[in-house]
Amino acid sequence: MYLPAFLQTSPSLGRRRARGVVGVIRLLGLWVCLVARALAEPPAPPPCIPLIYCTDLFHPYDDPDDHFDLATVFALPEFDIRCVILDQGDEQLKRPGHGAVAQLNRMTGRNVPAFGGLGAKLHAPHDPGLDQAEPFQAGVAAILDTLRRATNPVTIITVGSVRDLVAAFNREPELFRRKVGCVLAFIGEASQADFREWNVALDPHAYVGLMRSGLPLYWVPCFDGGAWQNAGHASFWRGKHDDLLHAASPQLLQYFIYALEKESAEPCGFLTQPVDDVRRARLLAGTRNLWCTAVFSALAGRDLVCEDRRYVAKPRPSGRAANPSLRNELFEFEPVTVRITDAAVVTYGPAPEARRIRRFTVRDPVNYARGMTEVTAGLLLPLGQMRPPPTRR
């Protein structure tokens, strides 16, 4: 064996040095193999956040933004969706939203159950809704059962009346305090006292009950300054369907065509039909009022940043602690002190009955609408692109 000159001074010394060099080479080789293996392995799966999702989604719809919201929740692998609560159980009997949940289960391979909610408004902010008929109790029961079973803090997102959430809280407030990590609620008006927002009008007592609950609340006013206004403390924006869905999969296009054109065919079977060119063009020509989608990604632990002149939601680097404000380039949640009157009007400032919560704030008004639209498009892109796993029988 050829030995370098510095190993040729003595046969025995040379052999010892040679063995030492060979050992170092072997260690280096092992290190290279370990590094190569680590680089070849897929990244660790995102953390699973137990989620209860409450929505006033109907078919035919009240507002198709609810279909965009539901699709985004299903598109985020960080969310372990334990159940979907379908708001306004009396109306769900006429226009059930279960079909949209079934379609997204089919597209993603999930198996998320959906439950209808209470059918009537609460009588008071502390009403547990126990006097309502049994068929309308499934949603509240599912919320409480999910919390009882949870071993990690549960996140609750509500984009409707907050009725079932508040009724469940009124039944077992201590369970909520132990098990709920945060509540993200899209409801209300940020500044104009004489304007009653849609979700508040659905159940004013429920809104009052939520704002007085003391739960860890991330409040997203739907408007700031009246209908269709956003002075900086609301999440409202508008996006063109072509910007949101131009690269969407055929299944996802079918999902939205089914919703917007109020289809009556079997929901999951419709997903597998070829996309009609005329219907696709009609879908992409539309514009959508939006409040929620990109906000979900921040709650899932993603950073909203602008890269190569386009906004994206990037998973947070491993090991970096979450920022309670969810601060990113487009928005954040600032702490505020609020109190709410019996008439469901929010005011600000200290008072004996006031609560400290976090309120949504736009950080970049110039780029907000474009950024939120681009983030939403990126989140929706994977839906329907991969074949879901086979259904177990």
**Residue pLDDT tens, the chain, 393 long:** 333 332 334 444 444 554 554 454 454 444 544 434 444 444 555 569 999 999 999 999 999 999 999 999 999 999 999 999 999 999 999 999 999 999 999 999 999 999 999 999 999 999 999 999 999 999 999 999 999 999 999 999 999 999 999 999 999 999 999 999 999 999 999 999 999 999 999 999 999 999 999 999 999 999 999 999 999 999 999 999 999 999 999 999 999 999 999 999 999 999 999 999 999 999 999 999 999 999 999 999 999 999 999 999 999 887 677 789 999 999 999 999 999 999 999 999 999 999 999 999 999 999 999 999 999 999 999 999 855 444 333
> Is the same domain home to 133 and 193?
yes
Report yes or no on 73 lying in a domain.
yes
Q: Same domain, yes or no, for 195 and 246?
A: yes
Are 333 and 250 found together in one domain?
yes
189, part of any domain = yes
Specify the pLDDT at position 45: 54
Radius of gyration from C-alpha coordinates of the chain: 26
pLDDT of residue 386: 59
Residues 53 and 17 in one domain: no
pLDDT score, position 274:
97
Instruction: Quote the CA–CA distance of 77 and 301 in Å, as a whole number.
Output: 11
Which bin fits 135, alpha (ψ -120 to 50), beta or left (φ > 0)? alpha
Residue 385 lies in a domain: no
What is the rounded distance in angstroms from the CA atom of residue 364 to the CA atom of residue 232? Answer: 9
Residue 387 lies in a domain: no
Q: Is the peptide bond before 96 cis (omega within 30 degrees of 0)?
A: no
86 and 210 share a domain? Answer: yes
pTM of the shown model: 0.87
Total tally of structural domains belonging to the chain: 2
CATH number at residue 171: 3.90.245.10
- What pLDDT is stored for residue 8 in this prediction? 37
Enclosing H/E stretch for 237: strand 237-240
Alpha helices in 239-384 (DSSP H): 241-245, 250-260, 267-271, 277-284, 293-299, 368-380
Asked, for residue 94, whether it belongs to a domain, the answer is yes
Note whether 288 and 313 are same-domain residues: yes
Q: 293 near 109, Cβ under 8 Å?
A: no
Range of the domain at 28: 5-40
Instruction: Kindly state whether residues 202 and 307 are assigned to the same domain.
Output: yes
The verdict on 123 and 101 lying in the same domain is yes
Which tokens belong to 152?
Answer: 């990690």
Q: Are residues 237 and 321 in the same domain?
A: yes
Q: What is the DSSP string of 315-343?
A: EPPTTPPPPTT---SSEEEEEEEEEE-TT
Q: Write the CB contacts of 348 (distance below 8 Å, at least 6 apart in sequence).
A: 336, 337, 338, 339
Kindly state whether residues 252 and 178 are assigned to the same domain: yes
Query: CA 52 to CA 117: how far, in whole Å?
Result: 13
